[in-house]
């Protein structure tokens, strides 16, 4: 069952049954039929429908934000911001799709030769719960507009969000089955990916889930794009604006109760400013307003599920046993729901879970280093490579380090890592491969076709 449990109080909200195999196969076939008609609709008309979807998102923003809060615990203000960002990505691709997909003329010995961008077909999108609207729209907006159709396999704990997204596309006037929800259990992924109709698959989720999808995609020779976990390093150099750095790091990690792949998970601080940084950072973190996510003044709600909260707590306890110190938080509160307090760990070293693993919750590790060289080495000492940030008053130095020395897909200077429709987004190493957003996100699942005419 796709089952939504309110993480604030642990009460059942709604559930939907899994699709059986016959229904799954039927939905795949219907998506293929829809594709053959959809790709023939002029790009300008497809873009117009996407623009309409963006308008619907804004007109019903409050309802969608409350749905997000209800199913996965995000504070209502952050839910509104998520819906607004979805509308932005719709507007961005509606306005830029024609330019992005314009054939590129190439001078050769032919009478005419060029590169054409043609849709691949039916794509499987395996989406997560932490940004239940944004993650879908950042993939769907470019790929549907480009002429593909999508089978949406959403996370089982946000069924209401999945239904709502399907309804948005219906209200906007998209043909039926251009975006089709698949209520499929994880063990049916091979049934779907092995189907010759399915031409590609994208997954946003854990690294373990990515390995599984990558293996299936490889076995059946399907293009895949994976946006996976991260253990993002945020470096604070000794010439940084410490107050600014502390505020940015705290905001990054407190957002969405720390359930973000690009949150500030490892804050690496030069020893010269380490004590000063703690004086600024710990009060911001420990005094964050945690409470009812529907309350306007709440900055941090519960985690999305009890099992996620319990796994996080085990990582913290293991780290403390192995030498880490807890400056605030670190205890499960005695009340219903998936609550966990903002937690700061110091004395984090190699071998501890807080150093080696992704802490997907309101917990951050602060690591003291002696100089810039050690800071960069520690930043890159991870199997992940999604985002990274560096804080310094020397902008040229920060840019050079971000561009040349940090091993990650998105590197920010004097700001926390975030996604933007105008810039490609994705990781390296075990944080995945491929890109979403910008022009790169629109062409990942296109047939980049050579056309040669004599």
On whether the CB atoms of residues 118 and 451 are closer than 8 A, the answer is no
Q: Which of 86, 96, 43 is nearest to 61 (CA)?
A: 86
Q: Residue 29 phi/psi, 5° resolution?
A: -65, -40
- Residue among 88, 108, 90 nearest 453 (CA): 108
Which structure tokens are listed for 122?
């039916």
Tracing tokens 């996370």 back to the chain, one arrives at 155
> What is the total residue count of the chain?
454
Residue 179: φ, ψ to 5°: -125, 120
Euclidean distance between CA atoms 375 and 269, whole angstroms: 7
Match 């130095």 to its residue by tokens: 397
Cα–Cα distance for residue pair 160/153, rounded to 1 Å? 13
Q: Which two tokens stand for residue 29?
A: 């076939």
Query: Residue 158 gets which letter from DSSP?
Result: -
Between CA 106 and CA 53 the distance in angstroms is: 35
Count the alpha carbons within 13 Å of 93 in the hemisphere toward its beta carbon. Answer: 36
Block residue for tokens 């069952």: 1
Catalytic residue list: 227, 261
Of the chain, the end-to-end C-alpha distance in Å amounts to: 57
Helices (H), 101-158: 134-145
């Amino acid at each position: 069952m796709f089952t939504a449990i309110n993480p604030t109080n642990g009460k059942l909200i709604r559930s939907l049954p899994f699709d059986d195999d016959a229904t799954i196969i039927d939905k795949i076939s219907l998506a293929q039929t829809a594709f053959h008609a959809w790709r023939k609709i002029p790009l300008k008309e497809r873009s117009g429908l996407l623009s309409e979807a963006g308008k619907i998102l804004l007109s019903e923003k409050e309802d969608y934000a409350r749905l997000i809060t209800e199913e996965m615990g995000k504070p209502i203000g952050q839910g509104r911001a998520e819906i607004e960002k979805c509308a932005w990505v719709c507007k961005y691709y509606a306005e830029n799709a024609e330019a992005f997909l314009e054939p590129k003329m190439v001078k050769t010995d032919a009478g005419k030769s060029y590169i054409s961008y043609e849709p691949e077909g039916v794509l499987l999108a395996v989406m997560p719960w932490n940004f239940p609207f944004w993650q879908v729209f950042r993939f769907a907006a470019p790929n549907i507009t480009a002429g593909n159709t999508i089978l949406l396999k959403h996370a089982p704990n946000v069924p209401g969000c999945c239904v709502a997204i399907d309804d948005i596309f219906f209200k906007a006037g998209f043909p039926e089955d251009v975006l089709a929800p698949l209520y499929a259990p994880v063990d049916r992924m091979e049934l779907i990916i092995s189907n010759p109709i399915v031409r590609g698959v994208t997954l946003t989720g854990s690294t373990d889930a990515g390995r599984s999808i990558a293996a299936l995609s490889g076995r059946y020779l399907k293009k895949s794009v994976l946006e996976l976990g991260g253990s993002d390093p945020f470096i604070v150099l000794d010439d940084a604006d410490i107050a600014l750095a502390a505020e940015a790091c705290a905001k990054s990690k407190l957002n969405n109760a720390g359930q973000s792949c690009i949150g500030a998970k490892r804050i690496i601080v030069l020893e010269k400013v380490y004590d000063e940084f703690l004086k600024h950072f710990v009060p911001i973190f420990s005094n964050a307003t945690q409470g009812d996510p529907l309350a306007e003044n709440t900055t941090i709600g519960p985690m999305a599920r009890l099992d996620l909260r319990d796994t996080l707590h085990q990582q913290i306890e293991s780290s403390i046993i192995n030498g880490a110190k807890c400056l605030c938080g670190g205890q499960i509160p005695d009340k219903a729901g998936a609550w966990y307090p903002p937690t700061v760990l110091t004395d984090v070293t190699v071998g501890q879970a807080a150093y080696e693993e992704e802490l997907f919750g309101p917990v951050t590790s602060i690591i003291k280093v002696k100089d810039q060289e050690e800071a960069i080495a520690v930043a890159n000492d991870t199997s992940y490579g999604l985002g990274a940030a560096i804080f310094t008053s020397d902008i040229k130095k920060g840019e050079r380090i971000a561009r040349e020395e940090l091993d990650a897909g998105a590197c920010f200077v004097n700001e926390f890592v975030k996604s933007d429709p105008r810039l490609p987004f994705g990781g390296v190493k075990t944080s995945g491969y491929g890109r979403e957003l910008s022009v790169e996100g629109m062409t990942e699942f296109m047939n980049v076709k050579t056309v040669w005419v004599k």
